[in-house]
Amino acid sequence: MGVPTVSAGRILDNGEAHVSNMDSLDFSGLIKTYNVDQMTPDSAGTATAYLCGVKGRANTLGVNAAVVKRDCSNIQGNTVDSVLEKAKQSGKSVGIVTTTYMQHASPAAAYSKTAYRGWYSDKSMAEDEDLINDDCEDISMQLFKASPNIDVIFGGGKKYLEERNDGNNFTQAWIEDEQVNIVFNKDELEKIDLADGKRLIGFFSDSHLEYELDRLSKTNQPSLEKMTEVAIKKLSANPNGYYLFVEGGKIDHGHHAATPFRALHEWIAFDKAVGKAIELTNKNETLISVSADHSHVFTFGGYAPRGASLFGLGADFVDTYDNESVFVIGYGNGPGFDDYLDVNIENGRIPDIKRTWPTAQQTDSETHAGEDVPIFASGPWAHLLTGVNEQTLVADVAEFALCIGNYANEEHCSSGEELARASIAIWLSIILYFH
């Protein structure tokens, strides 16, 4: 979610002057997104930075830079604890909400330690010909083992819990666990008793959840807004506070496919989740931070007039070498170049807004971008997130506000002044495809 996505999403939602929910937060800044070994980052290394407070290498989760991609030989002694883990150790309730696999890079950094983000199950590891050392556990196994210490788990990726070489079926194990309420669709989620003291788990898809544009017509999946609402209501029952991580991961998928119509409608759905978090919390006691792990090579321009469609054409006075009109939206690379090569506007071939968009260079998947991403925040200590900062600061500020981890003994923790009862890290995560 780079600045262009925030701006374009706002315009699509309600016009250029619209103030989105994330815009309404009190403070804003910029976050540097590079990995230890990559200028343009991947989502695993960035998730480790903002969820654990340590920058790692690309494709690794919950470990420092001593661990190299696909090599687990050096993982002992080089793992790092996440804010979620520290919050739970301090007696707070914790939760994870995502529209992707629960095993995907961003949510997985909250609970797993691995040399490769693509090891969703033991089957994934067995099929990886580039695996150097298999001393790591697969991510689904780590999720199952961590689940007694996670109060709310909402997302997709159910197939990785069940289709395993070791014969385990973690979904069935949770069904049989008397301390767990597990749901599989929107109707079941809406009927759940949030006051019964049980952990709440929801797996709403074998794979990723559907795009918002398809969700209502094709599925019985809950919206990100609904999942966020239920999670906050469940976690806020703890008088000691809570930590919640919310990810709108399908924005990334829309951009990787060079389908801006889908990506920007995902942004709108995400902003509704931000609005729900604002509605359900007290700004005086809850730190809300909204950001991204990285940007995309997405932009918009073309001197479009005020009120024009983002998915239409720019101004006709823009000079081009072939005298063709320019589109408002553009991608630096992606799968759309070949589809529209040598196709001119006189042929009536304006791109279908729900399909792949023209790109400047053909690639199988549109890539991440390396520039800084915005962060928006409100609540106790939110002012610390202003300016230009390293991505690790997001985790540090959450710990500082919650008085956990390295900041458990700060002056404001003992005095009780300006203490954040809760921290909600609401993030747009940009996810790579694994085929």
**Positions marked catalytic:** 43
Give the Cα separation of 136 and 69 in Å (integer).
Answer: 12
- Say if residue 417 carries a ligand binding annotation: no
Torsion of CA 7, 97, 389, 5, to 10 degrees: -10
Q: Give me 156's structure tokens.
A: 């997709």
Q: Give me 331's structure tokens.
A: 């991608």
Q: Whose structure tokens read 């996810």? A: 431
- Say if residue 252 carries a ligand binding annotation: yes
Other beta carbons within 10 angstroms of residue 17's beta carbon come to 8
- Say if residue 106 carries a ligand binding annotation: yes
Side by side, the strands of the sheet bearing 180-183 are 180-183, 199-203, 152-156, 93-101, 242-247, 422-428, 286-292, 373-378, 27-32, 387-390
- Say if residue 104 carries a ligand binding annotation: yes
- Say if residue 265 carries a ligand binding annotation: no
- Say if residue 415 carries a ligand binding annotation: no
- Say if residue 412 carries a ligand binding annotation: no
Contact call for residues 357 and 300 (beta carbons, < 8 A): no
Burial call 109-143: b when 16+ CB within 10 Å, e when fewer: bbbbbbbbbbbbbbbbbeeeeebeebebbbbbbbb
Q: Give me 315's structure tokens.
A: 């101004």
| Binding-site entries | 104, 106, 247, 252, 256, 293-294, 368
Binding residues for Mg(2+): 104, 106, 247
Write out the binding residues for Zn(2+): 252, 256, 293-294, 368
